[in-house]
A and B are shown apart, each in its own frame.
Chain A
Amino acid sequence: MRDPRGVEANESDQPAVSAGSLTGDGPADGGAPAGSAGEAELTGVGTSGRLPSTATGGDGDHTGKRIVREIMSGSALVSVLAVVVALVIGGLLIAVTDKRVAAASGYFFAEPGNTFAAAWTAVSEAYGALLRGATYDPGARTWLGQLGIFETLTFATPLILAGLAVTIAFRAGLFNIGAQGQIILGATFAGAVGFGLDLPPVIHLLAVIVAGAIGGAIWGGIAGVLKARTGAHEVIVTIMLNYIALSLVLYLLKNQLKAPGSTNPVSPAMKDSAVFPLLLGDNFRLHAGFLLAVVAVVAIAWLLNRSTLGFELRAIGANPSAARTAGMIVSRGYIVVMLISGALAGLAGVAQISGTEKSLDSEVAGSIGFDAITVALLGRSTPWGTFFAALLFGAFKAGGTSMAVNADVSIDIVLVVQSLIVLFIAAPPLIRAMFRLKTPSTRGAGA
């Protein structure tokens, strides 16, 4: 039981849904270039016909780059509206599945007001419970129940780190779908150090953190090296590496890393010296990993915006041809960014195993690796945007249970809302059309 509130049953099918909606949105978005801006870009690519051929690859997938750029060019407003629209549709679903609404709609034509009143009650109760569960609920019996905000932060911690992993790869033009596998590897390395070694208190935790980062970096680095040396597409490679990571950890859990005497594929518990200290005492799960995540946000923000390396990575992401012409080594950039990205995802694995899970099993990454993609997209691939998007998703997780218990609404609604957010974020033209927002034009039209 990793989650004290019993969300367990729900999590196993979450990755499948998230992954499904992600693979689905690519072609859909590609087929709908956003008006004149999209067209301009299409002709620009189509007519140049002179892209230098190199072994480093990464120039060929211009459609992919265009989709990524289209997603990233969405304004903050689009992100906010995507959440709002997703919540509205979620609300409609709550209303139509509510028993009281169904009862009232039986005499809809006699008394239409009753149906609407029932719907309003159902939706406001559900979302009210969600909000209170994620922030502050004066009516709850325990401290833990009252201050859901800290549970939100706990859930957000690995999402922040994994979201940053996706974000930084994104900025260098790579779509790292492999955060899931990198988290697993990070957690495995961290776990091996955490329960396998005996070290002095502070040093042990630091060693665990470093080991986790290295584990993730190795897994991300494989994709980076393959991309740089052979041009293998990082999306395919990272997806495949996810499966390998999962199988690898299962193998290790059945053999080398299995807890002595256990029949289940579960590792021994982390040593006390290898665990993040709790920040607010024993009543709350919030741990020092959250501080690590905040430090990571600040560090990545500096790296991307203030450092020469970040300048290089952003240039490579926005226009690899121009970056190469300006003397940057694009292939090296791909390797470096995948090492950093993998390390961040590895830290998310550390946050899991040293923060909340305390032992390694094959479910250690939950759906974090996939949610991280949504979080990064919702945060428009900026470090602080990712931070706040992760908080929102943490709130969904923390509040979802409360909604299920207090308002008798299935926790699956939260999943629906999350998936709708993915859909709307991935299709900014849809949101823009819905709210009649102007298409951001990068280039003036004309002769």
Chain B
Amino acid sequence: MKLELKGITKSFGSLVANDHIDLVVQPGEIHGLLGENGAGKSTLMNVLYGLYEPSSGEILIDDKAVKFSGPADAMAAGIGMVHQHFMLVPVFTVAENVALGKEATGFAGVLDLEQTRKKIRDISAKYGFDVDPDAVVEDLPVGVQQRVEIIKALVRDARILILDEPTAVLTPQETDELISIMRQLKDSGTSLVFITHKLREIKAIADTITVIRRGKMVGTALPSAATTELAALMVGRSVSLALNKADATPGEETFRVRNLTVMDDAGHRLVDDVSFGVGTGEILAIAGVQGNGQTELTEAVLGLHKHVKGSVTLDGRELVGRNVRQVLDAGVGFVPEDRQIDGLVEHFSIAENLILDLYGKAPFSRGSTLNRAAIARHAEAKVVEFDVRTPSASVPVGTLSGGNQQKVVLARELSRPLKLFIASQPTRGVDVGSIEFLHKRIIAERDKGTPVVIVSTELDEVLELADRIAVLYAGALMGIVPGKSSRSLLGLMMAGLTATEAQAQLDASATTAEGELS
């Protein structure tokens, strides 16, 4: 099936999210859609999937113009979509999820799941999915849940499959499996649109690459194009992808975590007996697939969790049992994982957000009165220092782009003397240009002699920043390896092997995950 978008424009008020986008997806092609977060990729796909109506332009399927008034129309036309965040009911079985919205019914409306089960088995067998129709979705690993989403689309006879940032939640090994699934689908004649901002992946799988920047199509490229070339197209200027980072000169180990265990209210172990230490002037990156205890680990250090056992010391002082205020006052800078939930108050101005955890200190307040002049001066200075792109420091922080919001968070946390800096996902949802800047600031903090802990699910980021890498799996520490370890080693550790087991497996086997992608 051939899909063509002609001059698609979508605007929200004065904001033009898509500006005259032309795109042709040939039958049986994997079309890579490359762009930074906020470039308009998802908007474009939502237009294609019938979730938004385009302000102008048209969609052609096999050279015939079509008009979608909702996802149902798009599905009927043969378009399937796998969203970045899965649209599955966790407590339903695979078959129930697949049937949902298109339930086959028997006499008097009785649900007939047997048909669906059969279809799932057929598709599973055809593509080697290994999915049990009667498994409950919430018990399945993320990679398998994603396959359920793909099956959902295929059961509805999708001939064009849109995958929106499908690798964000996968381990490197799962990514490789996904890539082979995509190849099989392509071979059986399905067209795929693969949306991503990861250059390495798009080069590995796409047949054609379309680059979008700020809602405009800025070019097409072949996967053979150089990485730096693609990055330059995506960002609009040349970027240096490799950080020039001097080797760490770790000093005394001032931050120590000993036998830290974090439990949820039901008593499940979210972090399981983790011990490590970080020296001054060193970056320890904590790698792992999302949801393996990294978040809870950092939150426990900050004092946000109730059920914490073990010990966390900074300069010999115990932090467990203290509240957030006391931990921050002990000299901890903290960048939370989700800036919009935990890091910023969207309706507050940039200036107010810059003092969100400093408002009680001089010079920002005297007694119980805020010193508005000092707050404004501080904001002006930080906006310049951290290159926050904004008309003024008094606009609500919610109006800024993700990258600029993250700069505000980092500016706040780095604007006081620190004894420890913890950053969770410091560049999630941030444009490439800002990533470069934020990474440099983090390394500058390290070079000032601050112990730094970075939590990231992006291996690229981990490898770029880390002096040492700790890998968490199901809350437990799989080992700490040097900063220049191989992707395949880390991948195996992220899948639950200890450092020694992973190394042994790598030595034994010649087929590495690296081979698939390089």
Which residues of A line the B interface, CB within 8 A? Answer: 36, 43-44, 46-48, 50-55, 69, 306-309, 311-312, 314-315, 318-319, 321-329, 438-439, 441-447
Contact = CB atoms under 8 A, between A and B. Distances in A.
Nearest to B85: A47
14 contacts: A44-B340, A48-B341, A50-B338, A54-B306, A69-B347, A318-B347, A322-B342, A325-B336, A325-B343, A325-B357, A327-B325, A329-B325, A439-B13, A447-B41
Given A308-B369, A315-B348, A441-B15, A327 B38 contact: no
B437 to A, nearest CB: 20
B225 to A, nearest CB: 21
B265 A322 contact: no
Given A311-B359, A442-B399, A444-B15, A327 B346 contact: no
Interface of B: 12-13, 15, 17, 35-44, 85, 195, 212, 215, 264-265, 295, 299, 302, 304-306, 323-325, 327-329, 334, 336-338, 340-348, 352, 356-357, 359-360, 365, 368-370, 372, 396, 398-399, 401
Q: Which of A55, A306, A308, A439 has the most CB of B within 10 A?
A: A308
Going nearest first, the 7 A-B pairs with the smallest beta carbon separation are A327-B325, A447-B41, A326-B357, A447-B42, A47-B85, A327-B324, A326-B356
B370 A307 contact: yes
Contacts of A46: 85
A54 B303 CA distance: 12
Contacts of A443: 346, 398-399
A342 B483 CA distance: 57
A329 B346 contact: no
B90 to A, nearest CB: 10
A65 to B, nearest CB: 12
Nearest to B38: A446
A172 to B, nearest CB: 13
Contacts of B329: 327
Nearest to B15: A444
Given A36-B12, A322-B344, A311 B304 contact: no
A329 B357 CA distance: 12
A446 B348 contact: no
Contacts of A327: 323-325, 327-329, 357
A308 B325 contact: no
B360 A308 contact: yes
Nearest to B265: A53
Contacts of B369: 306-308
Contacts of B352: 311
A53 B356 CA distance: 22
Nearest to B44: A447
A315 B372 contact: no
Contact of A318 (B15, B43, B348): B348
Contact of B302 (A43, A50, A325): A325
Contacts of A319: 341, 344-346
A296 to B, nearest CB: 18
A46 B87 CA distance: 11
